[in-house]
């Protein structure tokens, strides 16, 4: 297991460098540059050229890339062009807010989805099963940003129960509820459908039928014997859910004014703040890879049959 973890850490390095490379060249292909955003709409050519020289944008692109990559290898992500603050000081606090929202939404989607999936599998073809399947079809099809706007209209504008913008000062649960629900509902529906399908397969297995024939309580059969094996496909796709939710949370954060890395990247893109965009993407990819590594380790807890051979 230790060798496997070390191997995964080593594999992260080319992934991060590749992410940085893609972000670097895509940003340089976008029309305009940070100097235009900083100078504004004035026709002061001298000021424009002076800013470009200060930002080293007048150098050949290969020299910009080599210089930027050298700084990255040394752990230096540069300084924000628009805010004149080191990128790490901007990104790290925002990552905490982003993962607070992400993990809360993931927790809601997993707990709710697994519970609904188990109940509907046990009550297969009942009115409850049919109703939940219709509801999950609708929930999977609903975009998170549209759901977020509907939640704002209902619970903030009309009822006045929950705040709309920000995280609270100090952060509180009330500000977290609406964005977490908007991010969680589509994933909750997918988890419910996957859990139901997996549970139906496990409940038809011989060892489950044997447990039922021995007179084991149905609730123990479902949650002690069947659920553990049924969770393996759910855990497998949790990494995919995390990537999808992380991408969708950028829009959710902007809608709710959540001070996460999504709003930071949104503002940085408006000003073409190259260092912030590149550094933010590297931090996000690294965090996502680490979370997926944690999910791989959880496999061995859920199913002891899964072993990572030391020779691999």
- Given a cut of 60, whether residue 168 has pLDDT beyond it is yes
Mean pLDDT, residues 105-110 taken together: 90
Task: Determine phi and psi for 86, rounding to 5 degrees.
Answer: -55, 140
In sign, the C-alpha dihedral spanning 81, 83, 84, 86 is negative
What is the helix, strand, coil percentage profile of the chain, to 5? 75, 0, 20
Instruction: For residue 112, tell me if it sits in a domain.
Output: yes
Instruction: For residue 130, tell me if it sits in a domain.
Output: yes
Percentage of residues in the chain having pLDDT higher than 90 = 2
Angle made by CA atoms 258, 182, 142, in degrees to the nearest 5: 135
Distance CA 10, CA 17 (A): 12
Bigger pLDDT: 228 vs 185:
185
Instruction: For residue 265, tell me if it sits in a domain.
Output: yes
Q: Which is nearest to 193 in space by CA: 229, 144, 246, 233?
A: 233
Instruction: For residue 151, tell me if it sits in a domain.
Output: yes
Mean pLDDT, residues 24-34 taken together: 76
Instruction: For residue 221, tell me if it sits in a domain.
Output: yes
What are the Cα distances from residue 229, in Å, to 114, 189, 277, 298, 300? Answer: 13, 20, 41, 13, 12
Instruction: For residue 105, tell me if it sits in a domain.
Output: yes
To the nearest whole number, what is the mean pLDDT of the chain?
Answer: 79
Winning range, highest mean pLDDT, from 139-153, 203-217, 287-301: 139-153
Instruction: For residue 149, tell me if it sits in a domain.
Output: yes
pLDDT tens-digit series, residues 247-273: 778 888 888 888 888 888 888 888 788
Mean pLDDT, residues 152-164 taken together: 88
According to the model, what pLDDT value does residue 42 have?
A: 58
Number of structural domains the chain divides into:
1
What's the CATH number where 123 sits? 1.10.3720.10
- Given a cut of 60, whether residue 177 has pLDDT beyond it is yes
Q: Which two tokens stand for residue 183?
A: 């991010």
8 Å CB contact between 148 and 252? yes
Instruction: For residue 202, tell me if it sits in a domain.
Output: yes
Domain containing 185 equals: 90-302
Q: Which two tokens stand for residue 110?
A: 């997993």
According to the model, what pLDDT value does residue 303 have?
A: 61
């Amino acid at each position: 297991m230790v060798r496997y973890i070390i191997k995964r850490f080593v594999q992260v390095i080319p992934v991060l460098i590749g992410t940085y490379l893609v972000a670097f060249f895509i940003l340089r292909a976008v029309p305009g540059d940070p100097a235009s955003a900083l100078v504004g709409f004035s026709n002061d050519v001298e000021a424009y050229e002076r800013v470009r020289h200060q930002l080293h944008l007048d150098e050949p692109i290969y020299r910009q890339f080599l210089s930027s990559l050298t700084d990255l290898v040394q752990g230096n992500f540069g300084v924000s062009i628009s805010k004149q603050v080191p990128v790490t000081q901007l990104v790290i606090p925002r990552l905490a807010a982003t993962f607070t929202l992400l993990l809360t939404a993931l927790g809601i989607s997993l707990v709710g989805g697994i519970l609904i999936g188990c109940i509907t599998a046990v009550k297969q073809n009942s009115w409850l099963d049919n109703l939940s399947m219709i509801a999950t079809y609708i929930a999977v099809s609903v975009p998170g940003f549209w759901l977020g706007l509907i939640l704002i209209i209902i619970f903030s504008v009309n009822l006045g129960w929950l705040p709309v913008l920000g995280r609270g000062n100090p952060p509180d649960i009330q500000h977290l509820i609406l964005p977490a629900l908007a991010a969680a509902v589509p994933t909750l529906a997918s988890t419910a459908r996957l859990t139901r399908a997996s549970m139906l397969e496990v409940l038809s297995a011989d060892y489950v039928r044997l447990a039922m024939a021995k007179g084991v309580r149905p609730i123990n059969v479902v949650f002690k014997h069947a659920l553990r094996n049924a969770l393996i496909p759910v855990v497998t796709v949790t990494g995919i859910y995390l990537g999808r939710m992380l991408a969708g949370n950028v829009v959710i954060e902007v809608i709710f004014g959540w001070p996460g890395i999504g709003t930071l990247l949104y503002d940085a893109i408006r000003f073409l703040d190259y260092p912030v965009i590149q550094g933010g993407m590297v931090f996000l990819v690294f965090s996502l890879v680490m979370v997926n590594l944690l999910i791989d380790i959880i496999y061995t807890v859920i199913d002891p049959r899964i072993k990572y051979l030391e020779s691999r």
